[in-house]
Amino acid sequence: MSSCSPDTEQASSAGGCGCGAAVAFDGASPAYKRALGWVIGINLIGFAVVAIGSWMAGSASLAANTLDFAADAATYALSLWAIGKSVGVRSGAALTKSASLAFMAAGIVGFAIWRAFTGAVPDAGAISGLGLFGVAANLLAAVLLIKYRDGDANVRSVWLCTRNDLVQCLAVAATGLAVWLTGSQWPDLLVGVLLAGVFLRSAWQITFQARGELRAAKKLSSAPGYLTDSNRPQGQV
């Protein structure tokens, strides 16, 4: 019988148990699930706070922040549900998150264009204040997730979204200062569009990894001598 224990958290977080080829961490760890649950809660609170502020400030960058908090809460819940399921299900969850990022990017660009023609100068103080609030929220989430930053597409997509959110909120905080200094709405609109580009890049990264995992799983399952759960000898990992 193999001496490695795939049920230990250390083995899981390392991406394998040291026997044969390394396997990407799939999130099947109680500690990871607890961390992800806390991160979902953080994003729900962030959505409620920033949604109110975004509406009052009339800001494109804060609108991006609001959508991001909402999408993160929903897609992280999807990630939590997918843990422990097949490669196809986990990769499908990752692809769903990728599509949501691309959809958000399109919505943010559309809002920025609309604001360029119809909007007044947004509230600079609200932008910076809520941007800093987002920094604190996402920094806490990043601390909870940092040791799980390497894993399969489902796990990695959670880390990439959280990392991007932290950068995004720093940009939003700086945007408020730029709006105050220039007395113009253009810094806010520009940052909104740039953040849309960040979302699109992450969507591509997640899609690329998820499709690669699907191809690898399909190739492995069709290989001669591939062991399924039903024909695997007892005690073999």
Check if the beta carbon of residue 53 is closer than 8 Å to that of residue 130.
yes
pLDDT of 14 over the 60 cut: no
CA 169/CA 134 separation, integer angstroms: 5
Check if the beta carbon of residue 166 is closer than 8 Å to that of residue 131.
no
> What's the alpha-carbon Rg for the chain, to the nearest Å?
21
CA 64/CA 71 separation, integer angstroms: 10
Tokens 């396997």 found at: 23
Q: Domain residues of the chain, as ranges?
A: 41-219
Q: What is the mean pLDDT of the chain?
A: 76
User: According to the model, what pLDDT value does residue 223 have?
Assistant: 65
Closest CA to 79 of 11, 130, 152, 10: 152
- Of 17-21, 63-67, 124-128, 175-179, the poorest mean pLDDT is in 17-21
Between 124 and 231, where is the model more confident?
124
User: According to the model, what pLDDT value does residue 121 have?
Assistant: 79
Residue 147 gets which letter from DSSP? G
User: According to the model, what pLDDT value does residue 229 have?
Assistant: 46
Mean pLDDT score, 182-191: 84
Give the type of residue at 93.
A
Q: What pTM does this model have?
A: 0.65
Secondary structure string (H, E, C) spanning 25-57? CCCCCHHHHHHHHHHHHHHHHHHHHHHHHHHHH
User: According to the model, what pLDDT value does residue 139 have?
Assistant: 94
pLDDT of 10 over the 60 cut: no
Closest CA to 81 of 121, 150, 137, 26: 26
Contacts of 236 (CB under 8 A, 6+ apart): 2, 227
SS percent in the chain: helix, strand, coil, step 5: 75, 0, 25
What's the distance, CA 178 to chain centroid? 27
**36-88 tens-digit pLDDT:** 999 999 999 999 998 888 878 777 778 778 877 887 888 788 778 878 777 77
User: According to the model, what pLDDT value does residue 134 have?
Assistant: 92
**With left for phi above 0 and alpha for psi between -120 and 50, is residue 236 left, alpha or beta?**
beta
User: According to the model, what pLDDT value does residue 144 have?
Assistant: 92
Quickly state the pLDDT bin for 119 (edges 50, 70, 90).
low
Check if the beta carbon of residue 123 is closer than 8 Å to that of residue 56.
yes
Mean pLDDT score, 133-142: 93
